[in-house]
Structure 1
Amino acid sequence: MHAPSLHTLLDALEHDAALRKADALRERLDALDRIELLQLGGAPGPGASALRIAALREDFEAMNAASFAHAREAIRRGAVPALLQQCLDEPCHADGDGYDWRDELVEGVLQLRPPSAAASPLPADMVAYQPTPARHIFDLLAQARLGAHDVLVDLGAGLGHVPLLAAICSRAASVGIEREPSYVACAQAGAAALRLSRARFLCMDARAADFAEGTLFYLYTPFRGAVLDTVLGALRREAERRALRIAAHGPCVGALATQPWLAADTPPRADRVTLFRPRG
């Protein structure tokens, strides 16, 4: 059933000169995904189709690797790569926690090496790490419009995607707070490889963190219950002394929306990044 569709797709991809352009990374990633979806419906066995798929995959992946290398060199020079700038300029229309081509782009540019060992057991009210989908990170940065005076603090930073992209795509400094040592080591190595001196990572419990330097605090529901209450209490006390903002994604958006001292910039939604400011 799928063989004719696959054959037609392979013909089109093999003869599409636009896919060979350096800036066609998104289109190549989409093409590889389309091939994979057709294969899931009936993967071709050994033969002409399998050989053609392997050749296309090798060809496209080599082009993508060159695009990632070019982007990494731009970052080391202090520039924002065009591929990432494109993501900042395009409005985010996709809701929810699914992943898309932007995550493949970020993975290829950051080239983080997740630890092989299992993370340590989580204390009560701590939530297992899940990276923020890349499109929501770009949406966060587009909404926040961070400047050189800003410091983004990611509470529960995991492997460091948010602080790293903030340091790449803005003039702001960024700090990742993460309790898992292996995640912190991964994030620090990623920052060093890209010469991102404005991105720092601290291995500590968010309840023990000093919030004095942050101007924007980000939470992708890293904790709940009593831990979230403690952190929000500390942020409220900090907000009584100076201006700050809080950005959230996921279930914790609802918890922030019920805080009488916070007001949302837009109608709060758990499936999109929401920015909050102290009232008054």
Structure 2
Amino acid sequence: MLPLAVMSDELTAIISEIRYDIRSIQDDVNICRETHFNSRANALDFIDLHIIDRINALLPDAPDAELQKLKQGAEKAKHRLEETDRHLFMRLREQIRRGGYTEESFKAMIRKYLGEDLSPPNKVGYDTLDLFINGLLFHRHLPEETIEREPEMVFYQQTPARIILELAERARLMPDDVFFDIGSGLGQVPILVNLLTGAKTIGVEYEPAYYSYATACASRLNLTDVTFINTLAQKGDYTEGAVFFMYTPFEGTMMQQMLEVLKKESLKRTIRIFTYGPCSPIIARQSWLRCVNGPAEDTYILYEFKSRDGNTPTIAPISGTN
């Protein structure tokens, strides 16, 4: 154990460093300008990880009054930044509710706050774009699951926002196209695809709490062309569907059953399926589909599949007699 005098010197140095970090954030005159979202996101992350967590780690061994005061200052700075974002998202949601964005102006709005490079190559995981989209679309506490998942169902994981932007860009949805998100969770993909393309979108979700949450989010944004269906995906009605998306909602037999449902739809018309995650290599093995952009081996790449031309039912020859 270090001598008390050494510990005191180290603590004094740490307090001085933390005080400097807090003051730097407080004195930044630009950070609370609405357009500086990236700077606020970085500052909030820094406050949590490098200031508040650091203070909390010190307090049990050094219950110093100055540390308590610094923690209050850090929490006050954090609240100020969060309030800026809260007011920003309230204003943007109201603009959406009033129908104030076209597809192009909605994209321009995102770039205004996040910059031009929204889909960097070889990116894995989540980033500030996800923080922005979450703040814009989801303004309530996330719900708890209410029913037990089937064994082959995959736990809910949010699709990275940059993947949804790429999906909306590449899907080239026409006015009459209907987009389905199979395993839509909290509704982020159908809502965002609708805002980015203007197309009618439908989310299919098994968990009632997620379905209710997604429906409420779309309703609050006054998005009449975004709907959700609370059912087992394999039992859904996909007769309207032209484009489908799956972020590996299930595996095994359930995935094969879902693919059989979509294969039947492909006998009536050409369909496209976009995939992300571990389901891509599985879907690439389907003979009635061809992958448009590669071998579909990378779980962190968005893949597009198209049903093969001539994928029409055949009538088996009659053999024998009754």
With normalisation by structure 1, the TM-score equals 0.89
Give deviations 1:190-238, integer Å, cap 9, x for gaps.
Answer: 1111101010001111111121111210111111111111111221222
1:70 and 1:245 map into 2 onto residues whose CA distance is 36
Aligned to 2:119: 91
Query: How big is the shift at 1:263?
Result: 2.1
**1:271 aligned residue (293, 300, 306):** 300
Number of aligned residue pairs: give it.
279
**Residue 17 of structure 1 aligns to a residue in which SS?**
coil
Aligned to 2:32: 20
Aligned to 1:139: 166
CA shift in 2, pair 1:16/1:126, >3 Å = same
**Residue 124 of structure 1 aligns to a residue in which SS?**
coil
Amino acid paired to 1:240:
L
Query: How big is the shift at 1:35?
Result: 2.0
Unaligned runs of 5+ in 2: 1-9, 60-66, 310-322
CA shift in 2, pair 1:114/1:239, >3 Å = farther
Query: How big is the shift at 1:85?
Result: 5.0
Q: How does 1:251-266 map to 2 (within 5 A)?
A: 251-266=278-293
Whether the 8 Å contact between 2:119 and 2:162 is mirrored in structure 1 is: no
**2:271 aligned residue (235, 244, 267):** 244
With normalisation by structure 2, the TM-score equals 0.78
Q: How does 1:175-214 map to 2 (within 5 A)?
A: 175-214=202-241
CA shift in 2, pair 1:265/1:4, >3 Å = farther
**Residue 56 of structure 1 aligns to a residue in which SS?**
helix
2:152 and 2:207 map into 1 onto residues whose CA distance is 15
> Identity over aligned residues, as a percent?
30
Aligned to 2:87: 66
Aligned to 2:319: none
Whether the 8 Å contact between 1:115 and 1:182 is mirrored in structure 2 is: no
1:191 and 1:102 map into 2 onto residues whose CA distance is 20
Structure 1, 99-108 or 114-123: larger mean CA deviation: 114-123
- Aligned pair 1:77/2:89, yes or no? no
Amino acid paired to 2:42:
D
**Residue 153 of structure 1 aligns to a residue in which SS?**
strand
Unaligned runs of 5+ in 1: none
Amino acid paired to 1:10:
I
Aligned to 2:77: 56
Amino acid paired to 1:73:
E
Between the two structures, name the one with larger relative contact order (CA 8 Å, sep ≥ 6): 1
**Residue 31 of structure 2 aligns to a residue in which SS?**
helix
CA RMSD of aligned residues (A): 2.4
1:135 and 1:146 map into 2 onto residues whose CA distance is 18
CA shift in 2, pair 1:58/1:225, >3 Å = same
Structure whose alpha-carbon radius of gyration is higher: 2
**Residue 30 of structure 2 aligns to a residue in which SS?**
helix
2:292 and 2:76 map into 1 onto residues whose CA distance is 49
2:117 and 2:20 map into 1 onto residues whose CA distance is 34
Give deviations 1:112-154, integer Å, cap 9, x for gaps.
Answer: 5456553311223222222212232222223223342222101
Query: How big is the shift at 1:52?
Result: 2.7
1:114 and 1:94 map into 2 onto residues whose CA distance is 31
Query: How big is the shift at 1:4?
Result: 5.5
Aligned to 2:7: none
1:62 and 1:41 map into 2 onto residues whose CA distance is 21
Whether the 8 Å contact between 1:6 and 1:35 is mirrored in structure 2 is: no
- Aligned pair 1:219/2:246, yes or no? yes
Structure 1, 265-274 or 241-250: larger mean CA deviation: 265-274
Query: How big is the shift at 1:58?
Result: 1.5
1:8 and 1:259 map into 2 onto residues whose CA distance is 59
Amino acid paired to 2:50:
L
Query: How big is the shift at 1:60?
Result: 0.7
Query: How big is the shift at 1:162?
Result: 0.7
Q: Which runs of 4+ in 1 moved over 6 A?
A: none
Give deviations 1:32-84, integer Å, cap 9, x for gaps.
Answer: 11222213762265344323312211211111011101110121122127543
Whether the 8 Å contact between 2:47 and 2:78 is mirrored in structure 1 is: no
2:81 and 2:142 map into 1 onto residues whose CA distance is 28
